[in-house]
Amino acid sequence: MQFKSLILAAGLTALASAGFADGHAGKVKVGMITTLSGGGAGLGIDVRDGFMLAAKMAGNDKLEVVIEDDQRKPEIAVQLADKMIQSEKVDIMTGIIWSNLAMAVVPAATAQGKFYISPNAGPSALAGKGCHPLYFNVAWQNDNLHEAAGAYANDAGYTNSFILAPNYPAGQDALTGYKRMYGGELAGEIYTKLGQTDYAAEIAQIRASGADSVFFFLPGGMGISFLKQYAGSGVDLPVVGPAFSFDQGILQAVGNAALGVKNTSQWNKDLDSPANAAFVDAFQAEYGRLPSLYASQGYDAANLILSAMDKADVKDADAFRAALAAAEFDSVRGDFTFGTNQHPVQDYYVREVIKEGDVFTNKIISASLTDHVDAYAAECSY
């Protein structure tokens, strides 16, 4: 009897000490909620793969990552966030792709004292008055790529654009961003349904509108449908858009319909820097495909966290926050700093869709905006 309880006690002690050993000795626990199934899974998978690649290159013992699939549904993302904060007890959260999901999760997470590093969604509501000291965006504010497209439209001499985007927070940010920079007239402005797959009615309106150019923001499968139908419609106005409809994951599905289209991005695989070359090579070697801009954002998010870990302990929130804000890591897009609202201050480029051998991809043709600060930074104060 005594012997048994002795063993039990020893066992319990061992368990307890194992628990202590696991207690984040130099390790940071990251909770990643991203879209891994259903439509739009390609985006989440790229963010995850880019993030895990950086974690692996830094050595597997530094980051402990818990990955969950939000299925692109806000209610599921909220449940997962509660689970990660309350039972997994993560230090940092990241991963969300869609702005409507980010709006459901981020304010609650930062209010409970968790860091949130956004690798994609950058809704305007979180960049201005709703900014938070624990919220960092390592990708862009939603308007930014569209502002770059508007600036490009001015350079290209377009004076009568037809613009369309889906009716959700990022879609509204997109048209706002384009109109902020674009100086010409609007031939038409349409909000489509989120997830819409048939654009025949919109294309007919474009044809009848007398526009000289088309700007659209339709991420994922929506963009594939639009471009294929546009190419078949016989309307031959020049098209410009943000990089989301021309990323590496979907270009192969669009095919020839995308060739020659100009799109704007903060990153491309041909950006000339050692960090980028190393990333592109390592990504191809690890996963056997070319990285997309989502993968580059996931990779930068992980490297940002790793750079802050070198300087501060995540338990010391103020010091860790200062270390994150310093952003002393080799970003794959070259120069990278945070503005006062902890969103990127960075350069944006115009890319063109080309064909390399059998593979459709992008090349940079010019710069669009340099050291660009988002429009909401001034409204943010902590």
Partner 1 sequence: MSTLLLIEQVLNGLQFGVMLFLMAAGLTLIFGVMGLINLAHGSLYMVGAFAAAAVAGATGSFVLALIASLIAAAAAGAIIELVVIRRLYDRDHLDQVLATFALILIFSEGTRWVFGSFPLFLDIPDLLAGPVTLPGGIQYPAYRLLIIAIGLLVAFGLFQLIARTRIGIQIRAGESDREMIAALGVDISKLYTLVFALGAALAGLAGALVGAIQSVQVGMGEPVLILAFVVIVIGGIGSIKGALVGALLVGLTDTLGGVLLPGFFGTFMEPSAATAVGSSLASMSIYILMAGVLLFKPTGLYGSA
CA atoms within 13 A on the CB side of 355: 9
Can you tell me whether residue 302 is helix, strand or coil? helix
Q: Does 249 bind partner 1 (CB under 8 A)?
A: yes
Region for residue 288 given its phi and psi (left: phi exceeds 0; alpha: psi -120 to 50; beta: otherwise)? left
3-42: which residues touch partner 1 (CB under 8 A)?
A: 36-39, 41-42
Range 103-110 contact pairs with CB under 8 angstroms and sequence separation of 24 or more: 103/169, 104/74, 104/75, 104/77, 104/78, 105/33, 105/74, 105/77, 105/78, 105/81, 106/132, 106/135, 107/132, 108/78, 108/81, 109/81, 109/85, 110/134, 110/135
Taking the least distance from each CB to partner 1, the nearer of 235 and 277 is 235
Closest-CA residue to 35 (of 102, 123, 88): 102
* Residue 176 binds partner 1 (CB under 8 A): no
Give the count of residues interacting with partner 1 (CB under 8 A): 39
Q: Say whether residue 207 binds partner 1 (CB under 8 A).
A: yes
Does 228 bind partner 1 (CB under 8 A)? Our answer is yes
Amino acid letter for position 282: A
Q: Under 8 Å CB-to-CB from 347, ≥6 apart: which residues?
A: 266, 333, 334, 335, 367, 369, 370, 371, 372
Specify whether the CB–CB gap between 330 and 303 falls below 8 A.
yes
Nearer to partner 1, 36 or 84 (CB): 36
Is the CB of 45 or the CB of 117 nearer to partner 1? 45
Footprint of partner 1 on 308-347 (CB under 8 A): none
Choose between 192 and 303: whose C-beta lies nearer to partner 1: 192
Stretch that binds partner 1, among 153-161, 220-228, 309-317, 343-351 (CB under 8 A): 220-228
By beta-carbon proximity to partner 1, the closer residue of 247 and 347 is 247
Binding part of the chain for partner 1, among 90-98, 131-139, 223-231, 310-318 by CB under 8 A, reads: 223-231
Q: Return the bridge partners of 162, or none.
A: 188, 214
What's at 172, amino acid-wise?
Answer: Q
Segment interacting with partner 1 (CB under 8 A) among 53-61, 136-144, 225-233, 337-345: 225-233
| Rounded Cα–Cα distance for residues 159 and 162 (Å) | 10
With both helix axes pointing from N to C terminus, report the angle between 99-111 and 169-181 in degrees, rounded to the nearest 10: 100
Please choose, out of 128-136, 140-148, 216-224, 362-370, the segment that lies near partner 1 by the rule CB under 8 A. 216-224
CB of 221 to partner 1, least distance (A): 4
Identity of the residue numbered 13: T
Site for partner 1 in 41-100 (CB under 8 A): 41-42, 45
Q: How far is the CB of 200 from partner 1 (least distance, A)?
A: 4
Site for partner 1 contains 201 (CB under 8 A): yes
> Interface with partner 1 by CB under 8 A: which residues?
36-39, 41-42, 45, 167, 189-193, 195, 197-198, 200-201, 204-205, 207-208, 221-222, 224-225, 228-229, 231-234, 249-250, 252-256
